[in-house]
Structure 1
């Protein structure tokens, strides 16, 4: 039996992964430790095969943040990650999995401009949130050796039942508005169960290195909204000719480029020798929208 410790209580990814792994009670034991009050430092990590580190501060408004708040991002996303990895190694854990992000490559490209990340694309964080992730990766990578495997995951936007972020915003728009602009864009996304299966395979196969999991299909914002509306039995008219207006708005608001811009991984980057993308895009949208 593999014993897994999730460091970071009540996180969306951590709780979703724990529920997913409950399918195999005879194969995996999954425990969680809260990282907030510091008592985790007294917990014995020995006996665990893997520490899955999901504790961190997600990005929000990175444009208007105090110096103190920025420092807190580095304290949690970088320093806490490194301290946890050091403890895991010292306690004899065999594997440490860190949830990084596609944000290490910077923001989405504006509407009409391509941004496809390949294995040769250098990291280029656009803000302190992305930089805190890059610095965390740089701190923990040297810890990897023959007895301690470090796995770094750089997923794109993660979505699923109860998720936060951009997806719920699109869902609300699809359900409230009868029209939506036609936009040609390409984005990588990752359904939560596909991520959970990928993490399971990382543990099962005792992997190490950097990985870029994503869905088998790219998403297009307009098509995504149409899928959501269809699940709810709503008709939505797609209006062409508004890309120019969105481009203008995109010059003043990063939210527009997050929703309608381009950011995708080359699919070859995300291939794995065992299939982890068990649920396709359209089916995943149906599951998410049916969840209440």
Structure 2
């Protein structure tokens, strides 16, 4: 059995992973958690652990309206804290460090109507300080890798599931109240929380090293997700192309409106080839994941 230390208490991913392991891998993985807020974690001995899983961080920034002080805080937590934690894990003799990076390091979604496909050769190009804070940490922890210290970096797309934060619950809220939604086509990579937890379990049990791009087996389409959420929720919603002119109009408007449309209806997907490994982790289909999230 491997002992795993989650650095970062009460996070959505950390708590979900701990619960998933208890249900599916209690004989292979033993989980502990340490709070990173007050700094007392620096006094904790990491040496009894085989794996340190770092989930502490700041996310979902309003990147268009923040002070320099706030930006510094993002770098302090997302970058400096991650690297310092990895350095301590290495110094204390931990064998594997698992870090949650993000697709945000590749910049914003492509505008509606244009495709953006990420491949293994795509060079990260963060569009703002939040993305850059994750990218600097991504690079920093990988520099610490050695024959005795395995570094595992995940760059997942949007993670969703019951109780998740971010863009998915906002879309779900709209799907339950809107009478009509535009008949738009886009392509996005997403990752359901249980698929992520299965992936994490496998890379820890196997001691995998390197950079990974886990995603659902199927690409997502915003209108289809809206349709599925509405159906599961017992809400009638009409998908109609008659509203598409509003999308075109919004794309010509400056400021937040245009950004919101591109964020919701833009395109950003991972090449499926880069998300296939020698183990199966896509244990829940897209349709089933929405039922579980909304159920």
Q: TM-score, normalised by structure 1?
A: 0.97
Q: Map residues 25-174 of structure 1 onto 2, 5 A cutoff.
A: 25-174=26-175
- How many residues are treated as equivalent by the alignment? 290
- 3-state SS of the aligned residue for 1:287? helix
Confirm or deny: 8 A CA contact 1:56 1:77 kept in the other structure. yes
> For the Cα contact (< 8 Å) 1:52–1:97, is it kept in 2?
yes
Specify every segment of 5 or more residues in structure 2 that has no aligned partner in the other structure, as ranges: none
Deviation at 1:137, TM superposition (A): 1.3
Name structure 1 gaps, 5 residues minimum.
none
Distance in 1 between residues matched to 2:121 and 2:89, nearest whole Å: 30
Equivalent positions of 1:105-254 (< 5 A) are 105-250=106-251, 251-253=254-256, 254=259
Q: Give the C-alpha shift of residue 249 in structure 1.
A: 2.3
Alpha-carbon separation, structure 1, partners of 2:27 and 2:142: 32
| Counterparts of 1:220 and 1:252, CA distance in 2 | 24
Aligned residue for 2:265?
A: 260
Distance in 1, matches of 2:260 and 2:33, equals: 34
- 2:176 partner SS: helix
Counterpart residue number, 1:279? 284
What does residue 5 of structure 2 align with?
A: 5
Q: Tell me how far 1:59 sits from its aligned partner.
A: 2.5
State the secondary structure of the residue aligned to 1:125: coil
Partner-residue secondary structure (3-state), 1:109: coil
CA contact 1:70–1:128 (8 Å) conserved in 2: yes
Contact 2:181 2:243 in 1 (8 A): no
Residue 17 of structure 1 aligns with which residue?
17
CA contact (8 A) 1:153 1:212 kept: yes
**1:193-217 CA deviation, whole Å, 9 max, x = no partner?**
0000001111011011100000000
CA distance in 2, matches of 1:112, 1:241: 17
Q: Is the 8 A contact 1:96 1:149 kept in 2?
A: yes
CA RMSD of aligned residues (A): 1.0
Query: By how many angstroms is 1:244 displaced?
Result: 4.3
Q: CA deviation at 1:247?
A: 4.0
- Structure 1 residues 128-154: Cα deviation after superposition (integer angstroms, max 9, x where no partner): 000011111121111101100011100
User: How far off is 1:60 after superposition?
Assistant: 2.0
Q: After the TM superposition, which parts of structure 1 deviate over 6 Å for at least 4 consecutive aligned residues?
A: none
3-state SS of the aligned residue for 2:131?
Answer: helix
- Does 2:285 match 1:288? no
Question: Is the 1:110–1:261 contact (alpha carbons within 8 Å) kept by the matching residues of 2?
Answer: yes
Q: Give the Å deviation of 1:234.
A: 2.0
Find the residue that maps to 2:159 and give its secondary structure. strand
